[in-house]
Amino acid sequence: MPSELSQSRRYSAGVGLFKRAEQAPPDGVHGLDHRALVDLRKAGADLSRPRHFRRYLLVGDRSTGDVVAERCRGLVDGVVSVDRERRHGEGGDWVVRVESTEVLDLGRVTHERWLLENLASENGVEYDGWEGGIEPLRADRF
């Protein structure tokens, strides 16, 4: 299957946008994070090179999104935005999205999950996971 993947395909460490993530295993390493990194490697990703890295928090409304986005800016590196996501023609849900260019490893994604899950808990919102691009970004793009 990896040979059939397009360059724009991404692997996510979440059950999918707008789905609740699994609980972390007792050892503190989130199973979805580990699985997503393994899937990226299987698809041919060289994880030693920087790639697009997105993290998602689901919020109930724009004002909550603005508060959470401001808190994100103080916690993690990246461009933070608040958008309304549409699915299946419905009105949509508010999402805080953090995007950056990173070298992805288990330590990095586990730490960011910990930060963002705590932020979500403190603000009554939901951390929905992350995704990373298979293809590394070209040197002229970062």
Is CATH 3.30.70.970 correct for 50-136? yes
Question: What backbone torsions phi and psi does residue 40 show, to the nearest 5 degrees?
Answer: -60, -45
Percentages (nearest 5) of helix, strand, coil residues in the chain:
35, 25, 40
Q: Which of 11-25, 39-53, 84-98, 99-113 has the lowest average pLDDT?
A: 11-25
Reading phi first (left if > 0) and then psi (alpha if -120 to 50, else beta), residue 100 is in beta
DSSP 30-51: -HHHHHHHHHHHHTT--TTS-E
Is residue 108's pLDDT more than 80?
yes
Which helix H or strand E contains 99, and what residues bound it? Answer: strand 93-102
pLDDT tens-digit series, residues 22-45: 344 435 557 888 888 888 888 888
Is residue 74's pLDDT more than 70?
yes
pLDDT tens-digit series, residues 112-125: 999 999 999 999 99
Pairing type for strands 93-102 and 79-85 reads antiparallel
pTM of the model: 0.73
- The SS3 of residue 24 is coil
- The SS3 of residue 8 is coil
